[in-house]
Structure 1
């Protein structure tokens, strides 16, 4: 596995702080954001007077932050907690990420952080460093991934878990009946125009390149598409911060946004689609080079398919997410690919040759975008290095037919077992990370296994 620089990228703190204070001179609080293994944003608040440390000396947070389960509880089996003294690491700001938070009620800014060992070495468990390691392997081959994310979510009415509303309700629930067709509805978008106007304003303030917005099939379900980035790390940052932004803007509008992969049994789940092309040393699309480009694209697709079962726990990292793998949820259920086909796991969209790319459609919207992208890119590189050839492309409905690719498991436990046994995961992410992620998912699975459901009480009590 390739290594990356052992020193964090430092830039003059004065330049970052000066830029922020020009944009927001009255800032009171800076939110220091660190992404944990599950893709949950953690960190701390600080006054702007401490900003110089963010880029120069570093800010201390426990390394054990990456050993927390989805509820924020310590998982001792990860080896990151009290048995090691619960050590601190140094967190440094990502250059250019110190920006205003327009939806906050008080003057607030935020900055993305990365975790390093006290000696400056990138900490192995930081998902951003895991993606950086994969991108370094591409740079060694004079290849550069060009990436865009698409994120689906539900806008919900407030009041969930109150006596008056025991279940979450989408904003469009009850309008027009359950049979109403909402897919690509302009009227549905118009019903939330104030929300989306605020979202675009917030995105502009944080340099997040929102492209198109569409209404999805579920009531109150929408998708936001991001512009393709030649900087793959920035594309993953976009996805992470867009989720946070949508949630914050929704709260300011008296709503709740959910990226839960399958919040409703009767309506489609929420996915995170990843578009990837590659440019070479000449800056041109590798996949657009005639027959040679076609072979490269086919090998990249073959690699994503060959490694998909091993990486499934990264693409679907929650117990609930496996409920999304069902026909009617608009999520792929088999290891398949095809051209211009939304029922497959890896789609080749219609495009001009210079825009040839693959679209990876497995991940849930609540997955960690850094780890999802690292897994997709590692699979692509594996296929290209081994010159793999994919099976026949699926035409028509990929949900039907036993000959249309292996079926993906819809059990979290089986996906975690495949992850834990995978030599590919060691090559792509390292043995320490494989152990860490496995133990987190085992601990989360155990909680669900031990909890008696409401349905069991309703049936047997």
Structure 2
């Protein structure tokens, strides 16, 4: 079986890249602008706008970006401890188009294209502080061992009304002003009320070749979930997440609304999660979790994920705010436990037949970096299978009442575990592992450097 990772930019001007570029400009000769998109270690999309004729550079050469883009904190500030900034001369790398991500921006006021880029060094080598390059390398490693991951993502988000003020300048979720208990989980009326928006989201996804499956009204006013179909190319699946977040935000703005994937925007309502369904194929494209010995391999993969979960938690919950989502009874897991058909656990085995037997990873916030989430999942599952690890017994009933291993509920505790972890270095590689830890330490210090309004009102 060939590698599940698509050819997406190794070398300049490959025949496939040139063909994609030529076909696009032939179809859109009136192109006025292009938006170049890059994803940093926090999962934040960065980039620049350029005239339409600049698209050629991304396909037939390279677009210059400082490699230090991958050393910015969540607010876009330089973190010098990463070693990627002025001490290097702030060098440019070459950023090249990711094949299969070129499309028209449907909400733009003039004819505009967009394309995801990935970073290479000036010498033409993959830059391994770029999360996409790291995941690409990880997939190639496990493919060599005969493992071919298949994944599907589910993302939750809120639609907000920017004309309202819910709390401290935060806009209200749509529908919340009709009553704070207007949850209407799985409600069809809420979908119908925003049918034009969701039609635009589906149309944009089709233009960008994103396999949207279901759209669901979730557990709070204005909260929805979009599910993506599974892909046997995890790199493309992670691209889908990045582009889907962009689609939802852009289409919501076009309809006069604001969309947020913030992990916990409202204390009184459910947080936004990013669940990942994952299985493994062999070289003959058979699910190794089915058939003879399949159940044992599934449990070994679960054991690998449980073992490495505390030390890699900061990859799944990558912001200070994200830890507010992890509370008992919230359907966001607080313990490293697993179970069959149970939504209170960190790792759920959904009801399925042997052909699509899989594990659902339920920890990540909707704002997490999907490339890093998958790198950790793939590494953990592979190590569990190769080591023949055995998990503890599955949880019965409410996992919040179980005595399983507690996960860190604080960003600093999570970072301390990560800093001691050899696993994270194996999952991300030494460069990105170092950069990521440096970024998280800087973000923690920024929060520690703030005096909150609550603290001040306690004494004044």
Q: How does 1:58-69 map to 2 (within 5 A)?
A: 58-69=62-73
Contact 2:52–2:112, Cα closer than 8 Å, also in 1: no
Residue of structure 1 in register with 2:439 after alignment: 440
1:131 aligned residue: 135
Match for residue 329 of structure 2?
A: 328
1:397 alignment partner in structure 2: 398
Residue 49, structure 1, aligned to residue 53, structure 2: yes
State the partner residue of 2:289.
Answer: 287
Q: CA deviation at 1:9?
A: 6.8
Mapping 1:37-436, distance limit 5 Å: 37-159=41-163, 166-175=169-178, 177-290=179-292, 292-401=293-402, 403=403, 405-436=404-435
Q: Deviations over 1:14-63 (max 9, x none)?
A: 42233323543422111111100101111111222122221222111001
Separation of aligned partners in 2, 1:96 and 1:392 = 43
Q: Structure 2: 5+ residue runs without aligned partners? A: none
Task: State whether structure 2 residue 14 is matched by structure 1 residue 18.
Answer: no
Q: Are the counterparts in 2 of residues 11 and 95 from structure 1 also a CA contact under 8 Å?
A: no
Are the counterparts in 2 of residues 268 and 328 from structure 1 also a CA contact under 8 Å?
Answer: no
Segments of 5+ residues of structure 1 without an aligned counterpart are none
Return the alpha-carbon distance in structure 2 between the equivalents of residues 55 and 364 of structure 1.
Answer: 33
Native 8 Å contact 1:159 1:165 kept in 2? no
SS in structure 1 of the partner of residue 388 of structure 2: coil
TM-score relative to the length of structure 2: 0.95
Shift of 1:350: 0.3
- Aligned-residue Cα RMSD (Å) equals 1.8
Instruction: Say whether the 8 Å CA contact 2:12–2:60 is kept in structure 1.
Output: no
TM, length-normalised to structure 1: 0.95
Secondary structure at the aligned position of 1:448 is classed as helix
Deviations 1:171-196 (A, max 9, x none): 11122x33344111111111211110
Q: 1:55 to 1:21 in 2, by over 3 A?
A: closer
Instruction: Give the whole-Å Cα distance in 2 for the aligned partners of 1:25 and 1:397.
Output: 58
Shift of 1:161: 7.3
Q: Distance in 2 between matches of 1:131 and 1:240?
A: 14
2:18/2:60 contact within 8 Å kept: no
CA distance in 2, matches of 1:414, 1:343: 23
C-alpha separation in 2, matches of 1:108 and 1:87:
29
SS in 1 for 2:256: coil
2:182 and 2:220 in contact (8 A); partners too? no
Q: Does the residue aligned with 1:287 lie in a helix, a strand or coil?
A: coil
Q: Could you give the per-residue CA deviations for residues 56-84 of structure 1, whole angstroms, max 9, x where no partner exists?
A: 22111001000000110000000000011
Task: Report SS of the residue matched to 1:396.
Answer: coil
SS of the residue 1:362 aligns to: coil
